[in-house]
Amino acid sequence: MALLITKKCINCDMCEPECPNEAISMGDSIYEINSDRCTECIGHYDTPTCQKVCPIPNTILKDPAHLESEEQLWDKFVQMHHADKI
C-alpha cells in the first residue's frame, strides 16, 4: 500500500529529500506522494522514512486507494531500481 500525505502537512520540507524512490513532490498546496513510486521504503529501510521524519503525527498514512501487499511493494522496488538486472 502506498502512503498518502494528509492536509495536516505544514510543508516543512522534511520528507521530500528523504524519499529514496523520489516519490514525494510539491503538489498544489502540500506535498504529495506518487503511488506509482512509493514502496513504503521496502528495499531501502525497515520503516517508511517520510513517516519517521515528519514532525506532525499522523500526517503520512497508508493510502486506502492503493492497496498493495509487501510482495507487490518489493516487486515495484525491484522494477524501479534493478530492472536492468532482471
Residue 85's pLDDT band, with cuts at 50, 70 and 90, is confident
The 10s digit of each residue's pLDDT in 8-52 is 999 999 999 999 999 999 999 999 999 999 999 999 999 999 999
Whether 1 has a pLDDT exceeding 90, the answer reads no
CATH architecture under which domain 3-85 falls = 2-Layer Sandwich (3.30)
The residue extents of the domains of the chain are: 3-85
**Three-state helix/strand/coil letters over the chain:** CCEEECCCCCCCCCCHHHCCCCCEEECCCCEEECCCCCCCCCCCCCCCHHHHHCCCCCCEEECCCCCCCHHHHHHHHHHHHHHHHC
pTM above 0.75, yes or no: yes
Query: How high is the pLDDT of residue 84?
Result: 79
